[in-house]
Chain A
Amino acid sequence: MKDLVIKGKWLRRELVILAVLFLAAIITNVIGIVKHDTRWIEMLSQLHVVLILTLILYVLLWLVRLIIYAIMLPFRKKK
């Protein structure tokens, strides 16, 4: 069986993407609170929703990247 090698560069990139998506989810929460005039305690109480939203966005981004990768595959030069 072939070993799976996770490179430091790849890991850093994914963590940065996750952090950006987490930030986006927090901003979504802030917009939701402001727009619907709800309580600021929801910054904490709805943290679970923020985390779930982060994961959903991450999975969606993975799908987008996978589709782009699949489309680009025939155009990639063979090494």
Chain B
Amino acid sequence: MTYKQSRRIFLQKTALLTGGLFLGSHFPDIKALANVPADVSSNVKLGVIGTGSRGQYLMTHINLIPGIEIVAVCDNYQPNLDIGVEMTAGKAEAYTDYRQLIEKKNIDGVIIATPLHLHAVMSIDSLKAGLHVFCEKAMAKTPGECLAMYNAQMETGKILLIGHQRMFNPRYLKAFEMINRGQLGDITQIRAYWHRNNDWRRTVPEPGLERTINWRLYWDYSEGLMTELGSHQIQVANFIKKDFPRKVMGTGSINYWHDGREVFDNVNMVYEYPDGSSLIYDSMISNAHYGYEEQIMGPKGTMELEVGRMYSENPPPAPGILQLLNNIEHKIFDPLPLGGKSWIPETAVKEKGEYIYEVDLEDDGTALEMEGFAQMIRENRHSDILLREAYYAAIAALLGNEAIRKGEMITFPEEYIL
């Protein structure tokens, strides 16, 4: 499916969704994006700060979208900078210092795809230089930095969008609306996990570049699995709960990849929301069998958002003829019980469920998010809802690590509640 097709489907489906109460009243930003076709008559000019793997991924999507032009790229690692320039067919100006890039006069905004510890300083400097900012998730490395970024946006009035692409994924939007309509009942528990089976390392050409390239593995630059993976899923849980967790406890360790890294290779968390419901989260990189998923559970049903399926607690009965044939089969082939069944195994229900969203989009929301950012720039319209989502997801992820380090339950600090 091409980007044009994805966008057309997004517009059609999301326009339908926004007719509903939920997105219409709670999500005006996405409503606007869905209902207003992109005005591509004027190019939005962007600079990309950080042209490593994530920056390149974003640039690949941007290159498919009409009306966005990358006019400058910046990276302090020359091979990545060269790739960045190459991806713009040599048109972009190259910088090794982001402070020079943001002084450039002819850019509307920047995309920041650098290691976590640089998000806050780069975003704040860019906002203060009068630029709109798209910054990759997680928002920042400490709660204080997250708050400083939020305040910088408030002071400057410029757009600050954090890269939680699921907010632009039609499958998720459809699921959010269904949940808000009460199709699962009150959400009592969310389980989410992200499992991989790899060392999370990149190839390092010389030992001196280890910490530069594998920054995710060291506390000075990264908060590990909680911010790199967990913040996405915590954000989804928060959006569904329309709230953020007030308490968190958990464990984490390095139990497999004993290779000199500092960050945990497994984390296991329990978050508690004010209504007593919980988010149970875990992430590991030594087994990929279960992959990643967000399981949303209520008394009426369950949703699995990554596979896009919904399972009712009371599914409609199978057709009569199938039930009849099934009964006959059981009578013939099942062993005769002695004294009747006194125990039925409570294993998982084997139900195929229904698709939440029937269209299988290749885009995970990233291209639509990039287009959304450009459209927000054209309209000079910041989304406080999206920024708050990112803010609370980042702080919840960071508090998770704090709970692990301290070995105690952490309460969401009052000073960080907006």
Contact = CB atoms under 8 A, between A and B. Distances in A.
Partners in one complex: yes
Interface of A: 28-29, 31-38, 42, 45-46, 49-50, 53
Given A28-B321, A36-B323, A36-B324, 20 more contacts: A29-B321, A31-B320, A31-B324, A32-B321, A32-B322, A32-B323, A32-B325, A33-B320, A33-B321, A34-B320, A35-B320, A35-B324, A37-B320, A38-B319, A38-B323, A42-B319, A46-B320, A49-B319, A49-B321, A49-B322
18 contacts: A28-B324, A29-B321, A33-B320, A34-B320, A35-B320, A35-B323, A35-B324, A36-B320, A36-B323, A36-B324, A37-B320, A38-B317, A38-B319, A42-B321, A46-B319, A49-B321, A49-B322, A53-B325
Nearest to A45: B319
Contacts of A31: 320, 324
A38 B325 contact: no
Contacts of A29: 320-321
B326 to A, nearest CB: 10
B265 to A, nearest CB: 50
A47 B89 CA distance: 59
Per DSSP, are chain A's interface residues mostly helix, strand or loop, or mixed? helix
B30 to A, nearest CB: 37
A28 B319 CA distance: 12
Contacts, number: 43
Interface in B49-86: none
A31 B320 CA distance: 8
Contacts of B320: 29, 31-38, 42, 46
Contacts of A49: 319, 321-322
A33 B324 CA distance: 9
Interface string B309-343: 00000000101111111000000000000000000
A28 B321 CA distance: 7
B112 to A, nearest CB: 54
A36 B325 CA distance: 12
Contacts of B321: 28-29, 32-33, 42, 46, 49-50, 53
Contacts of A46: 319-322
Residue of B319, B321, B322, B323 with most partner-chain A CB within 10 A: B321
Contacts of A36: 317, 320, 323-324
A68 B319 CA distance: 35
Contacts of B323: 32, 35-36, 38
Nearest to B317: A38
A53 to B, nearest CB: 7
A78 B270 CA distance: 83
A33 B325 CA distance: 12
Contacts of A53: 321, 325
Contacts of A33: 320-321
> 5 closest pairs, A vs B, by CB?
A32-B320, A32-B324, A32-B321, A38-B320, A33-B320
A31 B321 CA distance: 8
Nearest to A26: B321
A29 B320 CA distance: 7
B179 to A, nearest CB: 28
A26 B317 CA distance: 20
A43 to B, nearest CB: 10
Interface string B266-291: 00000000000000000000000000
A50 B321 CA distance: 8
A50 B325 CA distance: 11
B388 to A, nearest CB: 47
Residue of A31, A36, A42, A50 with most partner-chain B CB within 10 A: A36
B333 to A, nearest CB: 15
A38 B321 CA distance: 9
Nearest to A50: B321
Residue of A31, A32, A34, A50 with most partner-chain B CB within 10 A: A32
